[in-house]
Amino acid sequence: MPIWRSCSGLQIECRDWGDRVRLSEWLSPQLLSRWASLGLLVLLCGAWVLPSSKLYHQSLIFLLWLPALLALFLRDFRALLNQSEMMLFIALAAWVMVVLVVKGGEDPLGEAKRPMYVLLSLLGVLLASRGQWSFEGLLRAAALLGGIGALVSVLYFKWSSPHPYGQRLIAIGLWDTAIMAAHAVGALAMIGTFLFQRQRGALWSVLWLVSGLGYLAFLSFSQTRGVWLALFATLLVMAFVRPRRFSAWAAVTLLAAALLAALLAPEMLLQRGGSYRPELFVGGMRHLGANWLLGLGFNAYEILVPSTGLVFKHPHNLYLDLAIRLGVPGLLLFALLWGSVAWRGWQNRAEPLGRALLALWVFSSVALLTDGIGLWFKPNADWLITWLPVALSMVLAVRRQANDAVSLHGSRGI
């Protein structure tokens, strides 16, 4: 049994074999890609079945972050990172470090690690897309499982012990807050809808039907109006992404259905009023006005609602929270990154993954406007509407680079 004696640079020496093997030769790109593919499924679906957040994070470390870290030893993989999304993310992460150094935080060391968690996740998703397994197939599998998990959540909520009147639906597993669970379920629903392929077998057709009903039931019973607004905006925008006669009729039908619902059941939209969103926005703007350059960093802050005396820890608006913490420069850097994701989706709207990204981006943008709580957390449900769109954009960027390289090579060969 050979014993690994030393590792110097990118070389590993085996005592018994006496030869040197480059680490890049020992690591199989296909092995790393399949390894990261398992991590991608855990990121998207593991929260349904894993018993604790600790196990969820440990699974991501081993199945998604570790192969991504090893892939950085491969020259071909590193070459994929020369893209605008990665450059903008690095600029945003660097600004986070500047703010953290100047303004500090409650746990500076822990908060300094968050951008690295995000970076390894982005690299892991990109790595998963480079293997022999279909990346769109992995996303479809995650969407199928997500719909089934959503249906099980609805059935468990309805048939378990009695709940107080007005209690909102949450998911089974780790997504145990109503708003964040609705965000994650809505994100998976968008992916499944725009990557869906007609199934040949009866069993798969039934499973997709059950999954679709699960999404419909969960999002209906979640009572999350921000998610309803995001879904409405997404379907309306996507109806005009590839204009056709059917798209026009779909948009008209959607508008008519929304108007009818508002007329027949206005209490569904008005029962909780504005949920203090206007007051939170005004209070958040006061914080921003007093700290517009570097923000407050990762220190805790509070927003008082004068009419009730209630105190909130964030303005329920991701963009405003980001500006409060990182200042206007941080908000602008994120806006550039988020805008590049939208542009990437628009450029690739002719293919299913491009449309799925565009739909996810619209859904996320609207949902984060009314219910976003922050950007720099450990992996949670909101990662599906914050960092997953960036990861999908990076995948499309690499594909575009490859297509451009093929076109350039073909033109030179003519």
Residue 309 belongs to a domain? yes
- Kindly state the average pLDDT of the residues 254-273: 59
pLDDT at 15: 40
Residue at 327 is within a domain: yes
Alpha-carbon distance of 355 to 353, in angstroms, equals 5
Position 129 in a domain: no
In a domain? residue 364: yes
Comparing CA positions, the residue from 117, 118, 124, 136 lying closest to residue 36 is 124
Q: How much is the average pLDDT of 195-221?
A: 88
Q: What is the mean pLDDT of the chain?
A: 85
pLDDT range class, residue 401, cuts 50, 70, 90: confident
Angstrom CA distances, 210 to 146, 148, 152, 303, stand at 11, 7, 10, 42
The residue count of the chain comes to 414
Q: Which residues contact 126 (CB under 8 A, 6 or more apart)?
A: 68, 80, 391, 394, 395, 398
pLDDT digits (tens, 9 = 90+) for 264-310: 555 555 555 557 888 899 999 999 999 999 999 999 999 988 878 88
Over residues 312-364, the pLDDT tens digits come to 988 989 999 999 999 999 999 999 999 999 999 999 999 999 999 999 999 99
Tell me if 65 is assigned to some domain: no
Task: Tell whether 3 is covered by a domain.
Answer: no
112-131: average pLDDT: 96
Query: Mean pLDDT across the stretch 375-384?
Result: 94
- φ/ψ of 380, rounded to 5, equals -150, -170
Q: Is the dihedral of CA 159, 164, 166, 171 positive or negative?
A: negative
**What is the predicted pLDDT for the residue at 236?**
86
Query: Given the DSSP bridges, would you call strands 20-22 and 303-305 parallel, antiparallel or unpaired?
Result: unpaired
Q: Whole-angstrom Cα distance, residue 22 to residue 7? A: 10
For the chain, how many structural domains are there in total?
A: 1
State which residues form the domain around 404.
Answer: 276-414
DSSP-derived pairing of the beta strands 20-22 and 4-8: unpaired
All residues at 6 or more sequence positions from 353 whose CB lies less than 8 Å from its CB, including other chains:
135, 136, 139, 195, 392, 395, 396
Does residue 339 lie within any of the structural domains?
A: yes
Whether 2 is covered by a domain: the verdict is no
